[in-house]
Amino acid sequence: MTEQASNQAMILCENLVKIYKTKDIEVLALQGLELTVEKGELLAVIGNSGSGKSTFLNMLGGLDRPSAGRLFVDGKDLFRMTESELVLYKRSTVGFVWQNNARNLVPYLTAWQNVQMPMLFEKNIRHKKERAMELLEVVGLGHKKHSRLSQLSGGEQQRVALAIAMANEPKVLLADEPTGSVDSKTGDYILDVFRTLNRDMGVTTVIVTHDPMLAKRVNRVVAIRDGKISSERIMKQDYRNRLEEINSFTEVSDVQDEYAVLDRAGRLQIPREMLDEMHLGGNRVRLEMRDGKIILDSPEADQDEAEPEDMKKKD
């Protein structure tokens, strides 16, 4: 990866590894993850618990350092940052929305005051107040500016958290299960706010989610399995056009094309359910090229085909 390449994408990961060590054990949370996210993309990251998706989000947010590999965000090499540079990065390059609103909001402050908090170093008090009010209007809560945490619903608190995350005009917006604690209708509204911020402000957005309906409403979805990107789903263009036109969502099952992902060494992760359906066990498979296509089969396939002939010879 060249320095020029790292500046062309907003997020660029190469062979990213994260190992957590305790006295008695080592846990490999990420094992060679590779991903490129272009400027202005809206991306969802999905995966089972323990797959590494939250670890990946924490590293993008500067909350955790990688163990090996390369990680660039907005052209900045997170491996080479000093502690002071990392503080500045977290303050100006990324905005973070947590699932737990207690981490997003100060309960004894109003919504308006909460949004002003990240701008403490802003010398122009008038500009700070105006920007906070503008962001509350964007998330549809201008009328709730004097409300405290206890006076806001869970969905309203999450929308204030979004305004807080955008206060310092970050290049990248990161969200960890932003709809995990709200009902589906409120979740739809929150995602609409994410889409609006992404479209109108051009902020690159990465959302970690378990919500399959949320994942169907973004243009690109990557799945992490065992610490690597295992597949990608890209929204079909005709559905993307409909979504933009009507600005609402009805459940449709087939809205994205799914692709397996090859790493730089040509390795491919095959979903477990596919292997089970093919009755493939163990750690070996047989590969064959037929008419320009790669055919995957069990190692015993040759023996099964040859067995009738052998039995004839015995007879």
Distances (CA, A) of 33 to 110, 260, 304: 41, 14, 38
pLDDT of residue 254: 55
pLDDT of residue 261: 67
For residue 230, give the 3-state DSSP assignment.
strand
**What's the full length of the chain, in residues?**
315
Residues 210, 212, 217: CA angle, nearest 5 degrees: 115
CB 160 within 8 A of CB 139: yes
pLDDT of residue 71: 94
Per-block mean pLDDT, blocks of 10 residues, the chain (315 long): 60 90 82 90 87 89 90 93 92 89 86 92 84 94 93 92 93 91 84 90 92 77 82 62 47 58 69 73 76 78 54 50
Strand ranges inside the chain, DSSP E:
11-21, 26-37, 42-46, 68-73, 76-77, 94-97, 172-176, 204-208, 220-225, 228-235, 256-260, 286-290, 293-297
pLDDT of residue 137: 95
Quick one: angle between helices 125-138 and 154-165, nearest 10? 130
CATH classification of 3-93+170-269 is 3.40.50.970, yes or no?
A: no
* CA–CA separation, 194 and 219 (whole Å): 13
Boundaries of every domain in the chain: 3-93+170-269, 272-315
pLDDT of residue 61: 93
Distances (CA, A) of 133 to 63, 125, 141, 171: 28, 12, 9, 20
